Amino acid sequence: MTGHAETSVTTSDKPAVWRGRVWLMVVAVIFAAMFFLYYYEDIRIGPPQPVSFSHRVHAGVKEINCRFCHSNVERSAHAGLPEVEKCFFCHKYIIPKYPEMQKEERFFNTNTPVPWVRIFWVPDFVFFNHIPHIKWAGFDCSRCHGDVKTMDRLEYTKFQMNFCITCHRENRAQVDCWLACHR
Ligand code: HEC
Ligand code: HEC
Ligand code: HEC
Ligand code: HEC
């Protein structure tokens, strides 16, 4: 009788121990996956902005032209960001009571430029100008900025010199450092 009881204890305990180990592994894998998702999401979607402006909604879903908001991109070295007034062309009528819009309205009423977090930049010693790239060579914005239309929050890209030079070589553009980019 006792012998029988012993075997039944060991046979029913062993799977329990294994089940415990498998569960532990499953939990560990889930934690690892969550960690990586959060970690990479931070990098993938770029920094939070003072107002949760979305390029996916405006340039993607609503198909507003890039040049409507970045109107200097063909006229001066800097594309520039839209002034607060420009948002209210539309938002005086569209979702004016939405909390994010009321934040924007506070900037408008106090005449404060929105402190947007800068995403794309090159160091001071590099000369860059949008005009030859867009007006003359006719590149699409996405060649350098990625598919902005699909992004809620723009992501950081550090432009490496290689990025400029490879394309200049491919397109027979100026590759003399001092004449072109380091003036
Ligand atoms: C309705 C206005 C609006 C439209 C349309 C729009 N943008 Fe923007 N853009 C903004 C605002 C506001 C910011 C600053 C907040 C941010 O970075 O998301 C910005 C930021 C950017 C930046 C980053 C600037 C920096 O900080 O380095 C790039 C690049 C850009 N836009 C490209 C585009 C392109 C390409 C399109 C068209 C596909 C486009 N934008 C359409 C309003 C607009
Ligand atoms: C040409 C018109 C137009 C301009 C200019 C414009 N918007 Fe919008 N915006 C829209 C439309 C249309 C929607 C979608 C509203 C809806 O979903 O009902 C929207 C939605 C939004 C939303 C909510 C989006 C969401 O779902 O998270 C925010 C926030 C916003 N806009 C901020 C801005 C800011 C900041 C500016 C100025 C840099 C701006 N908008 C300029 C038309 C515009
Ligand atoms: C050949 C690459 C290239 C193309 C094409 C390009 N950009 Fe840029 N863009 C840059 C670089 C490089 C910077 C950073 C410039 C700096 O730091 O002075 C920049 C910066 C910006 C900024 C930040 C604000 C500013 O004025 O510097 C905006 C907004 C922007 N680009 C919008 C656009 C739009 C809209 C288009 C398409 C019409 C476009 N860009 C096409 C390379 C490009
Ligand atoms: C997608 C390809 C491409 C990329 C990326 C690119 N360029 Fe260019 N760039 C060109 C072409 C093509 C021209 C010549 C345009 C023309 O003259 O028709 C040019 C012209 C220029 C000029 C004007 C040169 C002159 O002859 O006066 C400067 C300055 C310049 N690029 C700087 C840069 C810098 C800095 C970067 C990197 C941040 C960069 N470019 C990235 C394609 C590119």
Give domain status of residue 108, yes or no.
Answer: no
**9 within some domain:** yes
CA distance 14 to 28: 21
Q: Provide mean pLDDT across the span 110-130.
A: 89
- Residue 124: the pLDDT is 82
What is the tally of structural domains in the chain? 1
Stronger pLDDT, 100 or 76, i.e. the higher one: 100
- Cα–Cα distance for residue pair 127/133, rounded to 1 Å: 13
Domain membership flag for residue 34: yes
Ligand 3 atom index nearest CA of 120: 14
Domain assignment of residue 10, yes or no: yes
Mean pLDDT score across all residues of the chain: 84
Q: Does residue 61 sit within a domain?
A: no
Q: What is the DSSP string of 58-101?
A: IIIIT---HHHHSTTTTTSS------HHHHHHHHTTSSTTSHHH
Residue nearest to atom 24 of ligand 3 (CA): 80
Query: Would residue 37 count as lying in a domain?
Result: yes
Ligand 2 atom 1, closest CA: 90
81 CB within 6 A, ligand 4: no
Cβ of 165 below 6 Å from ligand 4:
no
Give residue-wise pLDDT tens across range 152-165.
Answer: 999 877 777 788 88
Question: Does residue 139's CB lie within 6 angstroms of at least one atom of ligand 3?
Answer: yes
Residue 88 has pLDDT above 90, yes or no: yes
- The string of pLDDT tens digits covering residues 37-68 is 665 544 457 889 999 999 999 999 999 999 99
Residue 183's pLDDT band (cuts 50, 70, 90): low
> Does residue 1 belong to any structural domain of this protein?
yes
Q: Ligand 4: which atom is nearest the Cα of residue 161?
A: 37
In a domain, 174, yes or no: no
Q: Is 128 in the pocket of ligand 3 (CB under 6 A)?
A: yes
Residue 35 structural domain: 1-44
Confirm or reject: Cβ of 174 under 6 Å from ligand 4.
yes
Q: Note the pLDDT of residue 42.
A: 46
> What pLDDT is attached to residue 93?
95
Q: How confident is the model at residue 175 (pLDDT cuts 50, 70, 90)?
A: confident
CB of 100 sitting under 6 A from ligand 2:
yes
When pLDDT is averaged across residues 93-118 and rounded to a whole number, the result is 94
